Structure 1
Amino acid sequence: MSDTRKFETIKVEVDDAVGRLTLNRPERLNAIGATMLRELAEAARWFDTRHDLRVVILSGAGRAFSAGADLKDSPLGQSAPASHKSWLARREGGQLGLRAADALENMHAVTIAQVHGYAVGGGVVLMAVCDLRVVADDASFFIPEIELGIPLAWGGIPRLVREIGPALTKELVMTCRRFTPDEAKSIGFVNRVVPPARLKDEVEKLAQQLTAMPSVPVAITKEHVNSVARAMSAGTTSFADGDVLLGSFGEEESRAAAAAYRGKTFGRKSPD
């Protein structure tokens, strides 16, 4: 039985035990703005009310998974800081990414990232919140936040440390260099790398394999692994990363870096 809900920037549907969450701003390479962050958190809560749901596939419409944070929908994309807003309002905006990432990661269903094209910055964080990751072999990954003059937020640092370790997290975040699907698989960040033509079918096959398994031990295994991962990273926290991000917005160096970065392109067309 199919079930859907209308959103502005994403598409969601549930077909029996499998749900699909599609980032749906293809004209912007699925850049993630404030509206999308709010809708992602709401979609996660909506999926959790579907008690027969077992798997949710997260993908992007068009030619990219996600170009990351939408610079036009953040203080770095504006000509001046949003000083007309109260500190509490600005703080709420700064925390949206972390709250969306936490909501997606804490969903009851097993989540699979289906990744093609670009996965940039916040797009990489969205991959990290998913339980499993299947990517096309022509995908491209990088984390440009430091080049933009800001730290990686949305809980990205602790999640990457958990998935790939401290040294590689430092390298990929501090150098902003691109890395390939094969490298991502070699460091344990992705589960499978497949030709683009096979990506959707491979993810659907994996989803069916999961839904064919007994539901209780699968759910317990997800919670058990996540609990162990949290215990291994005890003492780390990302609760204030939105505050740190907001602090960076007002820095002249950060604003100059953001302006320079916006002149760059993602292939044929810049999302900024």
Structure 2
Amino acid sequence: MTLIEVARSDNGVTELVLNRPEKLNAFNADMLDEFSRAVERIADDDTTRCVILRGRGRSFSVGYDVQRPADSSASYADAHDTFQDWRRLRRNLERWLAIWDLDKPVIASVHGHCVGGASMLCVCADITLVADDATIAWPSVPLGGGLLSPVSLWLIGMKRARELSYVVGSTLSGTEAAELGWANRAVAAADLAAETAALAGRIARTPASLLRLKKLALNRVMENQGFRTAFLYGAEWDAIAHTVPEHEVMRDKIREVGLKDAIRWFAEGGELSE
């Protein structure tokens, strides 16, 4: 099965579709690699002037596949080489930055759940439209640190980013995400696809050369303010977080009882002590 679908239209709009619906579009190693190849193909396609990024099925994406790690050659818990862990994490962040660097505007169209690493992908999109009943979520178990919230604070502000970071399993509704500036606007779930298509169509009427310059101009200002550096710092903080004893305890619990039961165990007061 193709895990990433690319569908081109006659009006200059191309859809990039996350297609692992049975797993709520959780990113495994194969899906990540397909994603990168698809973005490269779109970058070389002169007929595309605007991209819609969306997920098939019930959710946009629940982020990285925790039960089968994004790097299938080594789990977080088994990756005792912190430098290799950092390289893997940074590589995944660079996949999302490929959307930031793509010389065509990208609209993230978010429904259902958008969790963890998937939220970082949306931060890299030019525009985000979200269903008002969508859930933007931080991971429900404490497995990392310093990856999501330092990026989110660019959009939602320092105080709220801190609160969402410190409380495991924090969430924003689609409506809240739009009110805080994480998304451009929230619309009724039934209208999301049509609203996204209409906006993409309007954007695609602008000549590709001008869109390229407009995006570069905006990116340059953000990067001068430190966005790219802050985004990539996440790999360092997360690699460090993966070395703490409590992280190993949580990974062991997931292996022992499965992700859903591990989430329930922690929510009911499970202690991460050795």
- TM-score, scaled relative to structure 2: 0.82
Match of 1:209 in 2: 202
Q: Which one of the candidate residues 105, 116, 132 is aligned to 1:137?
A: 132
- Would the aligned equivalents of 1:114 and 1:135 in 2 still touch at CA under 8 Å? yes
- Would the aligned equivalents of 2:76 and 2:85 in 1 still touch at CA under 8 Å? no
Match of 1:14 in 2: 8
**What is the identity, as a one-letter code, of the residue corresponding to 2:9?**
D
Q: CA deviation at 1:152?
A: 4.4
- Would the aligned equivalents of 1:44 and 1:104 in 2 still touch at CA under 8 Å? yes
Q: Determine if the alignment matches structure 1 residue 111 to structure 2 residue 109.
A: no
Distance in 2 (CA, whole Å) between partners of 1:234 and 1:182 is 25
Distance in 1 (CA, whole Å) between partners of 2:178 and 2:76 is 40
Match of 1:268 in 2: none
Match of 1:148 in 2: 142
Q: Which one of the candidate residues 182, 189, 192 is aligned to 1:189?
A: 182
Q: CA deviation at 1:55?
A: 0.7
**What is the identity, as a one-letter code, of the residue corresponding to 2:177?**
A
Match of 1:223 in 2: 216
Match of 1:173 in 2: 165
Q: Determine if the alignment matches structure 1 residue 256 to structure 2 residue 249.
A: yes
**What is the identity, as a one-letter code, of the residue corresponding to 2:249?**
A
Match of 1:94 in 2: 89
**Secondary structure of 1:72 counterpart:** coil
Distance in 2 (CA, whole Å) between partners of 1:91 and 1:151 is 13
Q: CA deviation at 1:184?
A: 0.9
- Would the aligned equivalents of 2:82 and 2:243 in 1 still touch at CA under 8 Å? no
**What is the identity, as a one-letter code, of the residue corresponding to 2:241?**
S
Distance in 2 (CA, whole Å) between partners of 1:96 and 1:241 is 11
**Secondary structure of 1:51 counterpart:** coil
Q: CA deviation at 1:180?
A: 1.1
- Would the aligned equivalents of 2:54 and 2:60 in 1 still touch at CA under 8 Å? yes
Structure 1 residue runs without a partner (length 5+): 1-6, 266-272
Percent of aligned pairs sharing the same letter: 28
Q: CA deviation at 1:157?
A: 4.5
Q: Deviations over 1:168-193 (max 9, x none)?
A: 22222222421111111111111121
Q: Deviations over 1:40-61 (max 9, x none)?
A: 2222111110012111111111
- TM-score, scaled relative to structure 1: 0.82
Distance in 2 (CA, whole Å) between partners of 1:166 and 1:226 is 21
**What is the identity, as a one-letter code, of the residue corresponding to 1:9?**
L
Query: Structure 1 residues 95 and 188 mapped into 2: Cα distance closer, same or farther (>3 Å)?
Result: same
- Would the aligned equivalents of 2:133 and 2:175 in 1 still touch at CA under 8 Å? no
Q: Deviations over 1:225-248 (max 9, x none)?
A: 111111223794444533443343
Q: Deviations over 1:85-120 (max 9, x none)?
A: x77754442323111111121111110011110001
Structure 2 residue runs without a partner (length 5+): 265-274
CA RMSD of aligned residues (A): 2.7
Distance in 1 (CA, whole Å) between partners of 2:205 and 2:241 is 47
- Would the aligned equivalents of 1:30 and 1:65 in 2 still touch at CA under 8 Å? yes
Q: Which one of the candidate residues 173, 197, 200 is aligned to 2:193?
A: 200
**What is the identity, as a one-letter code, of the residue corresponding to 1:40?**
F
**Secondary structure of 1:141 counterpart:** strand
